[in-house]
Structure 1
Amino acid sequence: MSQANNPNAVSTERVLSASPRKVFAAFEQPDLLAKWWGPKGFTNTFEQFEFKPDGRWVFVMHGPNGASYHNESIFREIQSDTRIVIEHVVKPWYRLTVTLTDRGGQTHLAWVQEFESPEVAARMRPLSGTANEQVLDRLEALLAGEGP
């Protein structure tokens, strides 16, 4: 569903120069995910990572300013190489749906972050839109072998 059709959503998409299998692996392997998850300059400490339906993902994001941000999510849906649905269960609540589509050896990635209301989405859109682009920049760099 596009952002225009869903006022609760912040979305972006990108074509990555890697197969859906390789992109999916960057989500399912915690050592890889920790390298690129979060905006530019952030690092992660994973406390729990259960990559399975209803599995918990508990981690701390460390900002470049020294601040730490506790995160807790549940993997709601995992379809190998095609779809991952993550529910962020601490404030701000959101459901992130990542869809991977093969484009002849490349991957079209659709990233839709759905918040609890249009008001929360409107408040989060400036921050999330920029942060999500930075996250995908880091993923793209990792996939290209350039590091996060």
Structure 2
Amino acid sequence: MEPIDKRSDARSIFIAAKPAEVFAAMSEPSRVERWWGPDGFRNTIHKFEFQPGGTWLLTMHAPDGTDYPNESRFTRLVPGELFEIEHLSGHHFILTITLQASGDGTGVYWRQTFDTIEHYAGIAQFVAGANEQNLQRLAAEVQRS
């Protein structure tokens, strides 16, 4: 298998909140609808079985009106520590989000890993911007509560 760092987008953000508060924004469907995806996107969650092996079905609504149906499976979940999904529709990837208490907040570490370097290379620029926006939107959602 190709090296993970060559086929992944990895980034992080510090959020001034406890890991449990960050995890709450990642585990409550109504909150996920507000922050998931790049800027300008809205979401409709159809199914959110928040447990390992559970199904997550949503439609992402782009600013131009295009709908993007998504299917994922929750693979690993540890409250206040870890959120991981396998994205099954369209681009196949594993998204791992790790939370680490740090001083007066939480370090959020995001890694989106694709199957091959070639697949990742073709979308890397888009993925980098979208993931940065996702993290900013997550931070804003955590601060809402």
* Pairing 1:114-133 to 2, within 5 Å after superposition: 114-133=113-132
Separation (CA, whole Å) in 1 of partners of 2:57 and 2:144? 27
8 Å CA contact retained: 2:96, 2:111: yes
What is the TM-score with the length of structure 2 in the denominator? 0.95
1:56 is matched with 55
Identity percentage of aligned residues? 36
Gaps of 5+ in 1: none
The alignment partner of 2:119 has SS state of helix
Please report the RMSD computed on the Cα atoms of aligned residues, expressed in angstroms.
Answer: 1.3
What is the aligned partner in structure 2 of residue 113 from structure 1?
A: 112
Amino acid at match of 2:10: S
Taking the aligned partners of 2:112 and 2:143, their CA distance within structure 1 comes to 25
Which residue of structure 2 lines up, in the alignment, with residue 18 of structure 1? 17
For residue 84 of structure 1, report the CA deviation from its aligned partner.
1.1
1: CA distance, partners of 2:16 / 2:67: 32
Letter in 2 for 1:111: W
1:139 and 2:138 aligned: yes
Paired with 2:89 and 2:142, the residues of 1 have a C-alpha distance of 29
Question: Counterpart of 2:12 in structure 1: which amino acid?
Answer: E
CA contact (8 A) 2:4 2:113 kept: no
Q: Residue 85 of structure 1 corresponds to which residue in structure 2?
A: 84
Structure 2 runs not aligned, ≥5 long = none
| Separation in structure 1 between the aligned mates of residue 97 and residue 44 of structure 2, nearest angstrom | 22
Give the TM-score normalised by structure 1. 0.93
Q: How many residues are paired up?
A: 143
Cα distance in structure 2, aligned partners of 1:116 and 1:80: 27
- CA positional deviation for 1:104: 2.3
- Matching of residues 22-101 of structure 1 within 5 Å: 22-101=21-100
Runs of 4+ in 1 over 2 A off after TM superposition: none
